[in-house]
Amino acid sequence: MNDIQFIIKDKYNHHLNNSNLKSLINDLNLLSRGYPRDYIIGYVNFLNCKIDLSQKPLIPRVETEYWLEKTIPIIKENFKGYETIKVLDIFSGSGCIGLAIAKNIKNSLVTFSDIENSNIKQIKINLKINQVKNYKKIIKSDIFSKISSKYDLIIANPPYVPHSDAIKAPFEPLKAIKAGKYGLDIIKPFLSQVSSFLSKNGLFVMEFHPDQVKAIKTILIEHGFENFQFYRDQYGRYRYVIGINQRKVPHTNFTLEL
Ligand SMILES: C[S@@+](CC[C@H](N)C(=O)[O-])C[C@H]1O[C@@H](n2cnc3c(N)ncnc32)[C@H](O)[C@@H]1O
């Protein structure tokens, strides 16, 4: 299916008539100028959740959906026996990661945080649409500045694109994407503080750009992490890291590759 067929199916439900033809022509104009199909449709599906995009957050990526799907069984196994798994979805954007965790891990209790007011509004909309009740709160915070609790799981897709590459997504919020010359301007302060906000045996999961794997390994070692593993995405590129706050490797079927 091409983008036009997707729009006709997902936005118009295959019902085209005189009253919505003008709107479709407008959509096709936007599409021809490179405007993202998912903004035109207004939502995406993401791991059993419908993610509304009306406030124009970052559009959830298939790489993120892939690693989250792979990670959910690891989280369940690692926190087996916990009555409640306290989760922080930091850099939430649309809230897609935290919403998918809340929907797919019934004993999770999710807190969302992001720096942008528009995303705070977007997360509220998405919590409502997906009828998610196992969430604690939404916090407007610059990285950890307004976070005060400890969490069993901190899950993060920070901005990580080097300045020169950000232009590849010209219609999405730059603050969600670019992060300095090497794309590490948010990752560095995040990783340097994350252990202070993790409970004993807590886990963190973080997405990154494949070129950053060595730099991230160095940062983690500098900050005393001994147990972390890098994983690849569906295209065979290193894309996410899971680390633990204690000297114990989380239950996974993967072997340490780096
Ligand atoms: C790559 S997007 C991830 C969005 C969503 N979690 C996802 O996976 O689709 C990064 C998010 O971090 C937020 N952000 C950027 N700088 C931040 C900061 N200093 N503190 C907190 N959030 C920030 C952006 O507003 C954006 O929503």
122 lines ligand 1 (CB under 6 A): no
- The alpha carbon of 44 and the centre of ligand 1 are apart by a number of angstroms equal to 18
Looking at domain 51-244, its CATH architecture is 3-Layer(aba) Sandwich (3.40)
State if residue 119 touches ligand 1 by the CB under 6 angstroms criterion.
yes
Question: What is the Å distance from ligand 1's center to 35 Cα?
Answer: 21
CA distances in angstroms from 180 to 164, 167, 208, listed in the order given:
9, 13, 14
Instruction: Establish how many alpha carbons lie within 13 A of residue 196's alpha carbon, considering only the half-sphere containing its beta carbon.
Output: 11
Cα 158 from Cα 136, distance rounded (Å): 21
Task: Convert 155-166 to b/e letters by CB count within 10 Å (16 or more is b).
Answer: bbbbbbbbeeeb
CA 89 – ligand 1 centroid, Å: 10
19 to 10, 24, 130: CA distances (angstroms): 17, 10, 29
Mutate to test the pocket of ligand 1, among 115, 143, 160 (most ligand atoms within 8 A of CB): 115
- Could you tell me if the CB of 36 is within 6 A of ligand 1? no
Amino acid present at 68: L
Ligand 1 site, residue 208, Cβ cutoff 6 A: no
**Residue having the nearest C-alpha atom to atom 12 of ligand 1:** 91
164 alpha carbon – ligand 1 mean position (Å): 18
pLDDT for 163 equals 78
Per-residue pLDDT of 148-196, as tens digits, reads 999 999 999 999 998 777 667 889 999 999 999 999 999 999 999 999 9
Cβ of 55 below 6 Å from ligand 1: no
Q: What pLDDT is recorded for position 256?
A: 46
Residue boundaries of the structural domains of the chain: 3-40, 51-244
Ligand 1, residue 91: give the atom nearest the CA. Answer: 12
> What is residue 254's predicted lDDT score, i.e. its pLDDT?
47
Show the low-confidence residues of the chain (pLDDT under 50).
Answer: 247-249, 253-258
How far apart are the CA of 210 and the centre of ligand 1, in A? Answer: 18
58 lines ligand 1 (CB under 6 A): yes
pLDDT at 246: 65
The reported pLDDT for the residue numbered 252 is 53
Spatial distance between the Cα atoms of 218 and 116, rounded to a whole number of angstroms: 30
Alpha carbon of 46 to ligand 1 centroid (Å):
17
- Which residue's CA lies nearest to atom 1 of ligand 1? 159
Q: How far does the centroid of ligand 1 lie from the alpha carbon of residue 114, in Å? A: 6
pTM for this model (two decimals):
0.94
- At 162 the pLDDT is 86
